[in-house]
Structure 1
Amino acid sequence: MVRLALILGLLSAVGPFAIDMYLPALPAIAADLGTTEAGVQLTLTAYFIAFGVAQLFYGPLADAAGRKLPLLLGLGIFAAGSVGAASAGTIEVLAAWRFVQGLGGAALMVVPRAVIRDRYTGTEATRLMAMIMLVISISPMLAPLAGSGVIALAGWRWIFYALLLAGGLSILLLTFGLPETLARESRQTPRLAPMLAGARRLLTDPMFMGLTFVGGFGMASFFVFIASASFVYTQQFGLTPTGFSIAFAINAIGFFGASQVAAPLGARIGIGRLVRIGVSGFATATVLLAAVTLGGLASLPVVVGGLLVANAFMGLVIPTTMVLALEDHGDIAGLASSLGGTLQMLAGGMMITLTGPFFDGTATPMLLAIAICGLLAAGLCWTVLRPVRDPARA
């Protein structure tokens, strides 16, 4: 399990790395390309939307052609997008190439989930997902620092050449390190009618939809933070790109640290109960942080510490909702993973689009938007997911 987690974690980290390494450069990109904060956030929204929509394609392809081919295809597209983004001369062109990057990076999100479902279910799947989260945690902890170093040495465009190198190394890792996990006799020819039937089954399953959007609003809160944190930390609190990278890493520690205890806690108290505890804690922490901010007490330690706590609760939610959402849909795990991922990424992109016009480089709009995500996740959890089944106890 450890070897599989390491490989899947490194592959899955490429997509987040393309976001996190890029964050310290957002103010510099805005200045270099003559755009606003909202304009440069468009490049993130384009990536998120492509990252979400493309999963609808990779899921069925993974069910039909196996798990390795979609991963190789996605990495090739990601590499092409990286080359284009490095040479972009306007914010619109950069957004377009980031869209291409997202189209490729989507494969690295949806297919590893299906690989997990090929091998494990229930608590074991949660444990493997948590191990993968641990590997992915190198991204928010090291990627912004790496991006700051690249900016200092060569400028923001070289960030995309570094991502091109990461894509090439991932192709080698995939080719020589990951075995095919979907047997030929289990593969399903992609036909429109079965796909529509599977999608209808998922979209009308309140448990699948509820779990997907509980996790989706949790992820949306992190997307809001990603889109605005570099401006908040550098403009309101006066941090350098390196200082921002350190603060960002601290905020991420809570999420990835908590994700490592999700599996043993789920086995002990039940995965469904763990989801409800995590969502309730996340909503409470984000609302309190927003209230403190409105009261004029949003110092840098308060913001960083409050987000550390909130993200820790979210770390209990994301891996468990992913596992539970796929639990009853093993026969269409690829489609379920892709549809769930698409809905979650669209929720995140939509939240950035709706709240972007209110961002002004201060913490207040960012923290209010995050609190809204917490309240939406909590409301959905306590109205839809009360009868959630715990596979560890079933």
Structure 2
Amino acid sequence: MEDVAVRTASADTGTPASQQPTGLRRLRIIVVLGALIALGPLTIDMYLPALPSIGADLGAPDSTVQLTLTGTLIGLGLGQLFIGPFSDVVGRRLPLILGTALHVVASLACLVAPNIALLGTLRVVQGVGCAAAMVVALAVVGDLFTGRAAATALSRLFLVMGIAPILAPTLGGAVLLSSNWRGVFGVLAVLGVLLLILAVLALPESLPPARRQQARFRPVLRTYGKLLADGQFVLLLVVAALAMSALFSYVSGSSFVLQQQFGLGQQTFALVFGAGAVSLIGASQINVVLLKRFSSLQIVATALIAATAAAVVLTALTVTDTGGLLGFILPLWAVLGAMGFVMPNAPALALNRHGETAGTASALLGACQFGLGALIAPLVGVLGNDGPAMAIIMTAGAAIALVALGAVLRLDNRTVAAT
């Protein structure tokens, strides 16, 4: 049975099913969007192998160094709240170009940052620049696709975007072989320039003037009010954000847990970290096949049950110090794999409910995801920067997301009964 969230979406989007991109055109759009949206994961993950050395060089404790990651996530979250409505007014291309240019400038400034405070501030600016690419990519999907097509497009985006978390720590480790942590930001600046050229040359405008919103402050507030008044939309935001919290727990704590607790070197850490990303990406691609038989809501429900079970096992093994490195990474990869089914489907369900304001809806979605990530990153450090800290956060996130999804199902049943 197709879920209500998807069934009600077709009236909201401005692109009829018969006009949605197919074939080579759809492939080109997804590849371009995937390359652009990868700027965020690259910015977040490339410097992970250098976190311990940044603290040593700038004289900052581990928990303070982790705040530079928090700064990026804050910029990603808050930036989307403004860029999303802006893109609904002026179209998708201009915010994307301006944001990517801002990222390049901030990366160059990070290259010469003299202290941890300024580096953290510049990471916030970097995050705002990345926000433009992420919110515009999601908005373009909302502009052009609906229903299962949107979930499939997002799964393909995760395939392209997912290459970034695999390559980023390895690329960062390679940079560290011939340079120091500052060289990582030089590489990010170069990548930003290349993606800026791609945005200018290869991404057409997906929001025609007739479908743009008015450039007024109150309508934007009303749009946010409308979104927040939709109970199912809000609950799906919670599910999507908590799914991301598992990923950010992994991102923020893995370099310290794997390098300091288990003694892995920078290059070995990059390989193990990438293997976790492979689990997440592989699941997102299996999701495309499953969507031919099951609804997005059914897939999310099953995946959250599996994620909660795997997270409980991870917590038990890490708290009792059982199984060593394998006892840590195997259930961890299982959690990440389960979240690979949740991460494309929960946003698709949420965005399908409000296709007429895809930019603002995707901005609110991104702000919730990265806002929660900004809280999770330092929380791992506060709880000890070890395996149990990561496991406890993942277990709590998966369990709460499962409860939130149960509330979505109850609202679905009420809607069906009312009709």
Which residue, 12, 35, 40 being the options, matches 1:15?
40
Q: CA deviation at 1:132?
A: 1.0
SS at 1:267 equivalent: coil
Q: Equivalents in 2 of 1:238, 1:294: separation in Å? A: 18
- Residue 257 of structure 2: aligned partner: 232
Q: Equivalents in 2 of 1:38, 1:76: separation in Å? A: 30
Q: CA deviation at 1:314?
A: 0.3
Q: Equivalents in 1 of 2:185, 2:66: separation in Å? A: 17
Structure 2 residue 119 is the aligned partner of structure 1 residue 101: no
Structure 1 pair 298/348, CA: closer, same or farther in 2 (3 Å)?
farther
| Contact 2:253/2:380, CA 8 A, preserved across alignment | no
| Contact 1:151/1:158, CA 8 A, preserved across alignment | yes
Q: Equivalents in 1 of 2:172, 2:59: separation in Å? A: 21
SS at 1:268 equivalent: coil
Unpaired runs of 5+ in structure 2?
1-25, 414-419
Q: Equivalents in 2 of 1:388, 1:58: separation in Å? A: 31
- Residue 175 of structure 1: aligned partner: 200
Which residue, 216, 219, 225 being the options, matches 1:191?
216
Structure 2 residue 404 is the aligned partner of structure 1 residue 380: yes
Q: Equivalents in 1 of 2:323, 2:366: separation in Å? A: 33
Q: CA deviation at 1:101?
A: 0.2
Q: Equivalents in 1 of 2:357, 2:300: separation in Å? A: 23
Q: Equivalents in 2 of 1:306, 1:72: separation in Å? A: 40
Which residue, 116, 119, 122 being the options, matches 1:91?
116
- Residue 254 of structure 1: aligned partner: 279
Which residue, 307, 331, 342 being the options, matches 1:317?
342
Which residue, 147, 163, 170 being the options, matches 1:138?
163
TM-score normalized by the length of structure 1? 0.96
Point out the more displaced range, 14-23 or 256-265: 256-265
Q: How does 1:43-122 map to 2 (within 5 A)?
A: 43-122=68-147
- Residue 273 of structure 1: aligned partner: 298
- Residue 341 of structure 1: aligned partner: 366
Structure 2 residue 234 is the aligned partner of structure 1 residue 209: yes
Q: CA deviation at 1:261?
A: 2.1
* Paired-residue identity, %: 37
Amino acid at match of 2:88: D
Which residue, 242, 251, 270 being the options, matches 1:245?
270
Instruction: Give the aligned length.
Output: 388
Q: CA deviation at 1:287?
A: 1.3
Q: CA deviation at 1:186?
A: 1.4
Amino acid at match of 1:367: A
Amino acid at match of 1:194: P
Q: Equivalents in 1 of 2:309, 2:117: separation in Å? A: 38
State the Cα deviation string for residues 134-172 of structure 1 (Å, max 9, x = none): 111111111111100101101110100100001100111
Structure 2 residue 394 is the aligned partner of structure 1 residue 370: yes
Q: CA deviation at 1:221?
A: 1.6
Q: CA deviation at 1:387?
A: 4.5
TM-score normalized by the length of structure 2? 0.90
| Contact 2:135/2:366, CA 8 A, preserved across alignment | yes
Q: Equivalents in 2 of 1:373, 1:326: separation in Å? A: 21
| Contact 1:210/1:385, CA 8 A, preserved across alignment | no
Which residue, 351, 359, 366 being the options, matches 1:326?
351
Amino acid at match of 1:372: A
| Contact 2:314/2:331, CA 8 A, preserved across alignment | yes
| Contact 1:272/1:388, CA 8 A, preserved across alignment | no
State the Cα deviation string for residues 338-367 of structure 1 (Å, max 9, x = none): 01111111111122344431224x312122
Q: Equivalents in 2 of 1:74, 1:174: separation in Å? A: 11
Q: Equivalents in 1 of 2:49, 2:340: separation in Å? A: 23
Q: Equivalents in 1 of 2:310, 2:117: separation in Å? A: 37
Q: Equivalents in 2 of 1:149, 1:59: separation in Å? A: 35
Q: CA deviation at 1:264?
A: 2.9
| Contact 1:287/1:374, CA 8 A, preserved across alignment | no
| Contact 1:220/1:349, CA 8 A, preserved across alignment | no
Q: Equivalents in 2 of 1:388, 1:24: separation in Å? A: 44
| Contact 1:250/1:304, CA 8 A, preserved across alignment | no
What do you get for the CA RMSD once the two structures are aligned?
1.3
Amino acid at match of 1:163: L
Q: Equivalents in 1 of 2:78, 2:256: separation in Å? A: 28
| Contact 1:230/1:244, CA 8 A, preserved across alignment | yes
- Residue 20 of structure 2: aligned partner: none
SS at 2:38 equivalent: helix
